[in-house]
Amino acid sequence: MLIGIELGDPLENLPLAEEMLTLCPYDVVIGAIHTDGVADYYFGDYSQTPEQELHESLVRYFNRLCEMAEWGKFDVLAHITYPLRYIIGDYGRAVNLDRYQQLIDRLFYTIIRKGIALEVNTSGLRQKIASTLPDEALLRRYYGLGGRLVTIGSDAHRLRDMAFGLSETEEMLRKIGFTELVWFDQRKMQKMPL
Ligand SMILES: [Zn+2]
């Protein structure tokens, strides 16, 4: 059994976030952003939100991801397309991720440079968005930029979702070209063949 924490929105209070990391001998620390600085996407209703407002929210979100990656005191970057679970999945709004490609590339370059692993979160496979977070296209982009450190997370909030979608996600990663998965023991990266 390994001990981990998902550190949500550490930028809100960096001294507190850093103190949290000293309170327990974590094996793995996951860095996550759930908000654009205004509210958690989980609580949003995007059915009527004007397109421009959605766009500005996503720009803020991806900028926050970049800022957190620059801070970098975590091992795994969580569910980078988290807002889409709600905006696309729950509210059926269209989002063209090409508009954020520069920001996403900057994010990928930062985690590659810092040796932070990218989480492939399988929760979307059991939700309306019906794809991993991030999806195959973004994972191909990450791979194309030189990213090789991936980990799979089922984001199980209950026992029956543990390890959900692992084999089909592994298959997708192999198809892209990944040959290894990473995991962490006492915050040291370990690798296993995929
Ligand atoms: Zn999360």
Distance of CA 21 to the CA centre of its chain: 19
The 10s digit of each residue's pLDDT in 107-127 is 999 999 999 999 999 999 999
Which residue do the tokens 């996407």 mark? 41
Mean pLDDT (whole number) for 96-101: 96
DSSP state of 123: G
CATH architecture of 4-193: Alpha-Beta Barrel (3.20)
Mean pLDDT of the 45-61 span:
96
**7 CB-near residues (< 8 Å, 6+ apart):** 17, 20, 21, 29, 30, 31, 32, 74
Q: Ligand 1 centroid vs 42 CA: distance in angstroms?
A: 10
Centroid of chain to Cα 161: 18
What is the DSSP-derived secondary structure letter of residue 98?
G
Q: Domain coordinates of the chain in residue numbers?
A: 4-193
List, in sequence order, every beta strand (DSSP E) within the chain. 4-8, 28-32, 76-77, 117-121, 150-153, 180-185, 188-193
Q: Give pLDDT, residue 100.
A: 98
Kindly give the distance from the C-alpha atom of residue 41 to the centroid of ligand 1, in angstroms, as a whole number.
11
Burial of 22 (0-12, 13-18, 19+ CB in 10 A): exposed
DSSP-assigned letter for residue 116: P
CA of 116 to the centre of ligand 1 (A): 16
Provide the residues around ligand 1 (an ion) whose CB is within 5 A: 32
Q: How far is the CA of 178 from the centre of ligand 1 (A)?
A: 24
Q: What local confidence, expressed as pLDDT, does residue 189 receive? A: 98
Distance 9 CA to ligand 1 centre (A): 9
Omega within 30 of 0 (cis) for the link into 134: yes
CA of 50 to the centre of ligand 1 (A): 25
Band of residue 75 on the pLDDT scale cut at 50, 70, 90: very high
- Measured distance CA(39)–CA(33) in Å, rounded: 11
Distance 78 CA to ligand 1 centre (A): 7
